[in-house]
Amino acid sequence: MPKPSYCLGARGFGLVLMENLLARKQNARPDKQNDLGWKLFGKIPLRENDQKESKKMQKEYEDRAGRPSKPPSPQQNVRKNLDFEPLSTTALILEDRPANLPAKPAEEAQKHRQQYEEMVVQAKKRELKEAQRRKKQLEERCRLEESIGNAVLTWNNEILPNWETMWCSRKVRDLWWQGIPPSVRGKVWSLAIGNELNITHELFHICLGRAKERWRSFSTGGSEAENEDAGFSAADREASLELIKLDISRTFPNLCIFQQMLTYFAAFEVFFEENLPKLFAHFKKNNLTPDIYLIDWIFTLYSKSLPLDLACRIWDVFCRDGEEFLFRTALGILKLFEDILTRMDFIHIAQFLTRLPDDLPSEEFFASIAAIQMHSRNKKWAQVLTAVQRDSREMEKGSPSLRH
């Protein structure tokens, strides 16, 4: 039925109005149904027919989204947990080509499936190996914690109460070599170092105050006469300040450990040649002198070159055996990497020794140190060092290190 024109007057306008009202009433019910359809996730309950329709819509949506409409059964979950699925291959999905593309030939599909299975097998092997490595590390950590706990009981209950009679026994030396537990390390260090000078806290603070007062007298720039009355001339003040500006190998020559290390290097080379003759000859051939690596090792007590746990074990034995153990440790490092160092040239040896690997195996490392014999022609370290120091002037002329 054609719509009447608006030019028909009041009657025509009324017909148009009635037609629009009838159209709205006819469309009112579908709109209501649509509104109810959107209540799928709402709180208003739907009628039975609407519930069936909403379930059908939900199922169609889940099918399109690739989700199963029903949760997996417990048997499927158990099966999934039992199957070993490598994490590195979870993104690999072996599927056929889409329907709009030509299908794979059977030979090609078989080849791809075989390659996929090989990749999964290799990934399983790698992850199994990694799991075994982590398990081994965990077992080693548990074993170490248990041994540390037992050692703490031994130190606290047996050794420390009877320190004077037990500290030099074979049992204590073996425990000492294995490392002092951190909880008793400070006490053992203080007992091992001793206090031969009878320095007390009061004496320390008195000496510290005197040192600060003397430094203030230098800093304020008092008259030269006042400094001379105090026993210090301007030349002495200048010399004492200049000492600080010098490199560490020349600082405070009155401390023998800092005497340019010439005599110590010479004594070290005696035991180096005695224990590792092949590597010693290789170093000589490449003109590699001990100062290249020993200064960095010795002056920092290996705190810069080694991991903290190994450095602490070195400090444990250093407090007991003295400076000899520092050089024995250096020979132990050279012995541990002897096979590697003998195949290197000068540059690579220097780079390697000034930047040691971070993952040093502690047991192998201390086994290498234990294999070093600090005896040369029936002479111990102290005797060899004393013999070298007798002619220090001649050593300064012929030493292979720190020549002027």
Confidence of residue 98 (pLDDT cuts 50, 70, 90): confident
Q: Among 174, 199, 145, which Cα is nearest to 320's?
A: 174
The span from the CA of 350 to the CA of 354, in Å, is 6
**Mean of pLDDT values over 97-105:** 81
The H-or-E segment that residue 228 falls in is helix 224-229
DSSP string covering 6-63: GGGTHHHHHHHHHHHHHHHHHHHHHHHHHHHHGGGGSSSPPPHHHHHHHHHHHHHHHH
* CATH for the 257-397 domain, from 1.25.40.10, 1.10.472.80, 1.10.3720.10, 1.20.1250.20: 1.10.472.80
Q: What are the tens digits of pLDDT across the range 143-161?
A: 888 988 999 999 999 999 9
**Mean of pLDDT values over 71-99:** 53
How many CA atoms does the CB half-sphere of 274 hold within 13 Å? 20
Q: What are the tens digits of pLDDT across the range 303-319?
A: 999 999 999 999 999 99
Strand partners for 186: none
Say if residue 96's pLDDT is above 50: yes
Q: Among 277, 279, 281, 328, which Cα is nearest to 302's?
A: 328
The span from the CA of 89 to the CA of 46, in Å, is 45
Q: What are the tens digits of pLDDT across the range 373-391?
A: 998 888 999 999 988 888 6
Q: Among 149, 216, 208, which Cα is nearest to 183's?
A: 149
The span from the CA of 259 to the CA of 249, in Å, is 7
The whole-model pTM stands at 0.59
Q: What are the tens digits of pLDDT across the range 347-361?
A: 999 999 999 998 888
341 within 8 A of 201, measured Cβ to Cβ:
no
DSSP string covering 309-329: HHHHHHHHHHHHHTTHHHHHH
282: amino acid identity, one letter? H
Q: What are the tens digits of pLDDT across the range 9-63?
A: 545 555 555 665 555 545 544 444 444 444 444 444 545 555 555 556 556 655 6
The span from the CA of 172 to the CA of 96, in Å, is 71
Q: Among 309, 305, 288, 287, which Cα is nearest to 296's?
A: 305
Domain ranges of the chain: 257-397
Q: Among 286, 300, 301, 297, which Cα is nearest to 400's?
A: 286
User: In percent, how much of the chain has pLDDT > 70?
Assistant: 62
Say if residue 291's pLDDT is above 70: yes
Give ∠ CA 394-395-401 in degrees, rounded to 5: 145
The span from the CA of 348 to the CA of 305, in Å, is 17
> Which residue has 């210090």 as its token pair?
232
